[in-house]
Amino acid sequence: MEQVKLYDTTLRDGMGGRGMSLSVGEKLKVAQALDALGMQFVEAGFPSSNPKEAELFERLAEVELENATFVAFGMTRRRDRAAAEDEALAVLASSFAAAICLVGKSSPLHVEKVIRVSREENLEMIADSIAFCREQGKRAIFDAEHFFDGYREDSAYALECVAAAAGAGAENVTLCDTNGGSLPSYVAEATAAVVAAVGQTVEIGIHTHDDSGCGVANSLVAVEAGARLVQGCVNGYGERCGNANLASILPALQLKMGFDAVTPEQLASLTPTAHYLDEICNLASDPDRPYVGRNAFAHKAGMHAAGVAADASTFEHLDPAAVGNQRDIVASELAGKATVRSQAEHAGVELDDEAATRAVQRLKEREHRGYHYEAAPASFELLLRREAGTYKPLFRLESFRVVVEKHADGEVTTEATIKVEVDGRRYFQAAEGNGPVNALDKALRTAIAGRYPHLADVELTNYKVRILDEAHGTGAVTRVLLDSADGEREWGTTGVSENIIEASWEALVDSLEYAFQ
């Protein structure tokens, strides 16, 4: 099978995403995770002299990679000096990274408007800079910025830029859709033209963005047109709408298009790796993400669940296990005993026929009252355990009290007190919080922390409130959804009540109890 190389730019282009900011230690973890996933290139950024970047490159130099080559990123030489006298190129040459990626212009508009040099001078800047990297013993990649705009304006000149880099010794020229505006048919056509023109002398790569919602598709059609390297970010991090999502591109290349990129074992680690990267970046994982999302193989409608049971391919485009994900039959009113039993089995809960009947009944009752277990499988599992008789409560609540006060000076204070019993011993605790649920959470955890040290690992990662039957104003029923994680697992719980504090309490208790099931 023919190989397509994957080039992850999370540590450089991905950092342009709003709110993205990683410590040196976190960047090391990202690099190692990308290497373990089988990326051929991991772009590390520009090894500038600022202390943080300097420390990053120092520490990256000590990382032993299994698969990937680190790439240092920079620009072609400045217009007013020779490559050998360009400070930035010197920094790149002296970095430990075996490969250098240089970005340069390929659009006449940008040559003239942004860097303001002649077309000829731009070609020399490209060739000089790549040649300099090669002379310094580095592998060289040229990123043709705004290539698809340039090709539209003046295809001959855009091709000259590509040829200049190739002629100077670049092992790859990557065509960039820098503003993300191109659509697939045009990307396919332009890439095919480049491959026809210079494909014999240099490998072509593709770098796309998702501004048109076509970042993934544009990369895939470019590969069909002959590109053999794809730049992007696992999870599609990046400025504006993000870079092309390598977590969607990789499985398509390997499972649908017949290319070779990583091993099947590496591909099967895609889902956990994508979630781990989100965790390092402190981002909630998008549940609807292709291949790796929590919902990517979730089936809800009764008809679809039945279809999947008859033949998985009816509503699954591939085997979820191939990308490390799993099928998820979502609990809903439509579910019958069969669904409940298959979920119990999946959760390792033994449910006899009678218990399954009771569980279905309980489910229907609760859904009628406003519970919604689709996003709260952990609460559903606890419901199953209660019916199966294998449920273990963490504590017995005696009482709690939450007080919110707004004072004359406008200050708001919140405190919670709680009385609970564990194994016959009574615990009484108070806590302040920035809101009532936060205070209650703190008081409960402090009260039982001594008995359950693992509680310290359980983090509430997401809290949602939905008012049901909103037309009843503040007297309506409230449904709370809570997501939690302990570094290994993630789970969702729920609570429903007219009283938002009580609903939150219920979801909170389920969350903590699930951690110990």
Q: In the window 100-139, what residues touch its own copies (CB under 8 A)?
A: 109-110, 113-114
| CA-based end-to-end distance of the chain | 46
Distance CA 511, CA 509 (A): 5
CB of 98 to its own copies, least distance (A): 26
331-390: contacts with its own copies (CB under 8 A): 372, 374-375
CB of 414 to its own copies, least distance (A): 6
Binding span for its own copies by CB under 8 A among 57-65, 159-167, 307-315, 348-356: 307-315
CB of 443 to its own copies, least distance (A): 12
252 lies in the site for its own copies, by CB under 8 A: yes
* Residue 369, helix vs strand vs coil: coil
Binding span for its own copies by CB under 8 A among 66-74, 292-300, 354-362, 384-392: 292-300
434 lies in the site for its own copies, by CB under 8 A: yes
Contact between 218 and 244 under an 8 Å Cβ cutoff? The reply is yes
CB of 486 to its own copies, least distance (A): 13
Binding span for its own copies by CB under 8 A among 52-60, 61-69, 197-205, 304-312: 304-312
Distance CA 300, CA 333 (A): 10
Task: Please list, in sequence order, all residues whose beta carbon lies within 8 angstroms of the beta carbon of residue 413, skipping any fewer than 6 positions away.
Answer: 404, 405, 407, 432
Which of 80, 405, 423, 488: binder of its own copies (CB under 8 A)? 405
5-64: contacts with its own copies (CB under 8 A): 16-19, 21, 23, 25
Task: Please list, in sequence order, all residues whose beta carbon lies within 8 angstroms of the beta carbon of residue 280, skipping any fewer than 6 positions away.
Answer: 22, 26, 29, 30, 33
223-242: contacts with its own copies (CB under 8 A): 224, 236, 239-242
Which pairs with CB-CB distance under 8 Å and at least 24 residues apart come from 55-59? 55/24, 56/24, 56/27, 56/28, 57/95, 57/96, 57/97, 59/24, 59/28
Nearest to 210, CA basis, from 258, 244, 166 = 244
Q: Which is nearer to its own copies, 132 or 400 (by Cβ)?
A: 400
221 lies in the site for its own copies, by CB under 8 A: yes
Contact between 343 and 331 under an 8 Å Cβ cutoff? The reply is yes
Q: Which is nearer to its own copies, 245 or 343 (by Cβ)?
A: 245
131-190: contacts with its own copies (CB under 8 A): 146, 149, 178-185, 188
256 lies in the site for its own copies, by CB under 8 A: yes
Contact between 513 and 394 under an 8 Å Cβ cutoff? The reply is yes
Q: Which is nearer to its own copies, 357 or 461 (by Cβ)?
A: 461
Which of 55, 124, 316, 490: binder of its own copies (CB under 8 A)? 316
CB of 68 to its own copies, least distance (A): 23
Distance CA 62, CA 69 (A): 13
448-477: contacts with its own copies (CB under 8 A): 459-467, 469-476
69 lies in the site for its own copies, by CB under 8 A: no
How many Cα atoms within 13 Å fall on the side-chain side of residue 90?
Answer: 7
